[in-house]
Structure 1
Amino acid sequence: MSKEIIFDPTPLYLRKRYLIYILGFFGYLNLYTMRVDFTIAIIKLTENRTVNNEDGSYTYEQHFNWTNEEKGIALSTFFYGYIGTQVIGGYIATKFSGRLVFGTGILGAALMTFFTPILCYQGISYLYVSRIIIGICSGLSYPSINAVYDKWCPPYERSRASSFGISGVYVGTIIGLSLSGYIAICHRWEWIFYGFGIIATVWSILWFIIIKDSPADDDWILKSEKKFLLDSLNLVESTGTPWRAILTSLPVYAIGIAHFAYCWGYNTYLTIIPLYLQDILEYDTNGHHHTVITSISYILITLLLLPSGYLADWLQVNNYLSTTQVRKFFNNISFFLQMALLLMSGYFKDLAAVITCSSLSVGIGALAMSGFLANSLDIAPQYSSIILGLSNSFAVLPGVLLPVLSGHIIRTPADYEFKSMFYIACAIYLFGFFFYSIFASGKVQPWANLNRQSSISLEILESDITSQGVSRENSKFRKNKNEC
């Protein structure tokens, strides 16, 4: 298949789409700081505080005397709103505006986060409602970024754009947990919510001012980049959502099953590994050291995301691998290594070895972000938000099912019971590996190919751009390519 390869003569530091990628990263970062802050704040809200009385005695009191059941409900209500809004968010973003849904969702979560302290004092029922609304706003926002990438991201920048954006999830988790803990100890607990709420609100204002729905609507973009984007993307409006085709498409199922397998392994790390360390290796998982150890895995995956995304794009640009081959290669090498490292964790009895293997297992998951996560932009760019919403809804299930399953299997607890959980995780990884290998595709699907023939964009060296300047004419040439 012959495709036109278009160079972008715009200097790297003047490319508007790179600003969109950066703001997308910070958008995800804000979403996750507001998601995890409550898990730290609730400890401060319900802990016993020492109060010195005038007579020299002291008593204990709590900010809020909530029962364990009430605390459990408060922690879970976020997911009540989050699970059911993924597909809705993707559909609205596709139908109307990804920019609007992404920005509005984060702004809504920011406002509810800011008012959380006031609602806590009003009663725990008000807190439940606020956490549900934050979940709804987060669920609407999460998949909608793909509708923005659809309008702004050239085909051969999709891996790095997706990887860089999703790295905000892990950076946001680290920052959210760390800063919440610091604020809870050194300042008033209310500032956990005030701080993250204000920061996310400022981000939302910048997002709406700077970002436009498409290059054609943007008056601030350089003409050279606008021409490049319009030529390389050849944007068209979708005439409707082909639900039947989406729901019966094997490449879509491949993305969903891979996403489910990835999240099952990730939740095994979050849920089973701490229990294994505590019950089998007799390591205190409630201490400060465990928090540091957990952060290592997030740092690893963050550091690997951008290089792996860039490498995936580079392999396509230089015609070493087709889009389909790149997606399968990165996804499957990630699943194979994660499976092996997770299984090794279950056989080691040395603390350092278990922590190393399990942390590497999470970190190597960065490769899969250039596999299944970016794949929806390949097979159906204009419907990628819907597909991401569907797959992420499916991927939430391991967080619900795995704790229940572990409660039935891990009873003693004994070493063989934990091995059973690791075997199950490996089996799911293996199923995801083979299903994705067989049915995944990097080609635009027939039901999504509505007169939309995306050209292939190539990066040019910054030194070439600097020497030749923005006035350089848009260079074009033909290159044979077997597959998108």
Structure 2
Amino acid sequence: MDNQSPSKRVASFCSLRYGLAIVVFFCNIVIVSQNCCLSLTMVTMVNSTDQPGSPNASTKEPLDNVKNPVYDWSPKLQGIILSSSTYGMLIIQIPIGYLSGIYPIKKIVGTALFLSSLFSLLLPLAATVSGSVVIACRVAQGVSQGAVNLAQFTLWIKWAPPLEQGRLTAISLSGMMMGPFITLLVTGFICQSLGWPMVFYIFGAFGCALSLLWLLVFYEGPKDHPCISLTEKEFITSSLAEQVISSGKSVPIKAIIKSQPVWAISLGCFGYYWTTHVLHLYAPTFLSSQLHINVRENGLLTALPHLISWTFGVLAGHLTDCFLSRKILSLLAIRKLFTTLGLLLPALFSVVLLYLGSSFLGTAIFLTLACASPGFTVSGIIINPLDIAPRYYGLLKGITVLIGMIGGIISSTLTGIILNQNSESSWFTIFVLMAAINMISLIFYLVFAKAEIQDWAEERQQTHL
């Protein structure tokens, strides 16, 4: 693989494995779109997302109540609704992490994608009943989305050659960054022209169609796919011939719990999810309260960071493979570099936002950078579990993402509570606390992170040919 010619590398981009990465990319776009569209539609779904008595509470432009039904949900309830899908994801992480190593990924992802889309179609109806029903719908949707998000990681164990893991993972996961860009870009226009319920109907319909496509084109491994070329099949299987896989039996739970590298990744994920939940869920609210802009302008401004984040994520994946193939940096140095960029930069940019006042240009620039820079973690903490224990990759992703989502739940719920206090220092408290969490997580990761297979993950090795 190290001696792979440039022409062969270029040809690989037209291969089936890269086509599969594109399909997963679109699955992630749909899943994230169904999740994050609520953060912007919330601006039109409620009487006001602003704090009580804020100056722009009366400046919101009138909307047609037939197309855009309005509900009296407090900032606290809004925070719970926005974070409720994370509760569902929290429930499913470890079960799916374990089951994805046993049951077919094709059925897990396809079924979960369809269910998430179905709940998206039902959400406008749930909103007419009560906020509690919306929460229940979002929790169920979160279970489905969590299954898709986690199960997809294990497919690269059989489909990605070692020196292409960073690239293929970055391409597929970048859909999670491109999804919010597309969603926020179009949601404002849909809300104003068709009404906010159509947002959920459109993304739900796309998800149903994509779940059918997934079931048609995906196969568990190269040896099973009827359309793969013999050359590519041999290339993938030979490059993965010595890769350890899970036996599906004994799991070293005690060793995993005691593992410092596992805790380093977990705490890094805690900081990552804390940051992304605050910035992505509350960016529309922050812009509305600081700049007093309408929903369409809000959507355009909050969409841009996700496009930049997608660029950062793809760039990080390609740089990782480049650094490894040319032996510029060690694998551990690469993981620490991109984790540092993904946790340190958003903390710094968020603190800067506090001192910009009502500057439109400054706020737009630094909010964009703060929301985009976590994309670097794709080549850091996000893929690091594969380095230390490929045999238990699915389970470790479940554990680390579970801990990360706890951070996301706490941060999004706590942010709603802080905003509900109607304090002038609300955003100062939110951003400074976020920066502190990121720095603690980053320091712990830099001290204890590893990038080689741990002893407890090398026991009773099996290989697949």
Structure 1 and Structure 2 fold alike (TM over 0.5):
yes
Return the offset for 1:152: 0.7
Quick check: 1:68 aligned with 2:73? yes
CA spacing shift, 1:317–1:83, aligned 2, 3 Å: same
Residue 16 (structure 2) pairs with residue 16 (structure 1)? yes
Question: Within 1, Cα distance between the matches of 2:95 and 2:177?
Answer: 24
How far is the alpha carbon of 1:396 from its aligned partner?
Answer: 2.1
Identify which of 141, 144, 150 aligns with 1:137.
144
Indicate conservation of the 8 Å contact 2:88/2:146, yes or no.
Answer: yes
Secondary structure class of the residue paired with 1:321:
coil
Mapped to 1, the partners of 2:193 and 2:173 lie a distance apart of: 30
Q: How far is the alpha carbon of 1:197 from its aligned partner?
A: 2.4
Q: Which residue of 2 aligns with 1:96?
A: 103
Alignment-mate amino acid for residue 275 of structure 2: G
Match among 253, 275, 299 for residue 265 of structure 1: 275
1:256 matched residue in structure 2: 266
Q: Indicate whether 1:339 and 2:344 are aligned.
A: no
Cross-structure match for 2:226: 219
Secondary structure of 2:451's counterpart equals coil
**Offset at 1:315?**
0.1
Q: Distance in 1 between matches of 2:231 and 2:175?
A: 29
SS of match in other structure, 2:453? coil
Give the distance between the partners of 2:201 and 2:422, measured in 1 at CA.
Answer: 44
The correspondence of residues 3-152 of structure 1 with structure 2, limited to 5 A, is: 5=2, 7=4, 9=8, 11-39=11-39, 67-68=72-73, 72=78, 77-116=84-123, 129-152=136-159
Who wins on radius of gyration, i.e. which is larger? 1
Change (3 A) 1:285 1:386: farther
1:151 to partner: Cα distance: 1.1
Distance 2:108 2:42 in 1: 29
Partners of 1:94 and 1:382 within 8 A in 2: no
Contact 2:154 2:393 in 1 (8 A): yes
Amino acid at match of 1:248: K
Deviation at 1:28, TM superposition (A): 0.6
Contact kept in structure 2, 1:92 and 1:101, CA below 8 Å: no
RMSD: 3.5
- How big is each residue's C-alpha offset from its partner over 1:380-435, in whole Å with a ceiling of 9 and x where there is no partner? 223222222222222223333335655469967345x6545444333222222221
2:350 touches 2:435 (CA, 8 Å); kept in 1? Answer: yes
- 1:170 match: secondary structure: helix
Q: What does residue range 96-245 of structure 1 map to in structure 2 within 5 Å? A: 96-116=103-123, 129-187=136-194, 191-234=198-241, 235=243, 237-239=245-247, 240=249, 241-245=251-255
CA contact (8 A) 2:245 2:390 kept: no
| 1:392 to 2:401 alignment | yes
C-alpha change, 1:119 and 1:213, in structure 2 (3 Å) is same
SS of 2:226's equivalent in the other structure is coil
Structure 2 residue aligned with 1:376 = 385
* CA deviation after TM superposition for structure 1 residue 229, in Å: 1.1
- Distance (whole Å) between structure 2 residues aligned to residue 313 and residue 111 of structure 1: 38
What one-letter code is carried by the residue in structure 2 that aligns with 1:164? I
DSSP-derived class of the 1:265 partner: helix
Query: Which of 441, 451, 473 does residue 461 from structure 2 map onto?
Result: 451
Q: CA deviation at 1:302?
A: 1.3
Whole-angstrom distance in 2 between the partners of 1:317 and 1:349: 46
Question: Could you say which residue in structure 1 is the equivalent of 2:332?
Answer: 324
Which whole-Å CA distance do the structure 2 matches of 1:273 and 1:141 have between them? Answer: 25
Higher share in strand: 1
For normalisation by structure 2, the TM-score amounts to: 0.82
Distance 1:307 1:180, change over 3 A: same
Aligned to 1:310: 318
1:440 is aligned to 2:449: yes
- Equivalent residue for 2:52? none
The worse-fitting range, judged by mean Cα deviation, of 145-154 and 423-432 is 423-432
Matched to 2:270, the amino acid is F
> 1:479 maps to which residue?
none
Identity, % of aligned positions: 23
Match of 1:296 in 2: 304
Cα distance in 2 for residues equivalent to 1:255 and 1:168 = 22
The answer on whether the counterparts of 1:327 and 1:375 sit within 8 Å (CA) in structure 2 is yes
**Does the CA-based 8 Å contact 2:67-2:196 persist in structure 1?**
no
Structure 1 residues 344 and 182: alpha-carbon distance in aligned structure 2, compared to 1, 3 A threshold: closer
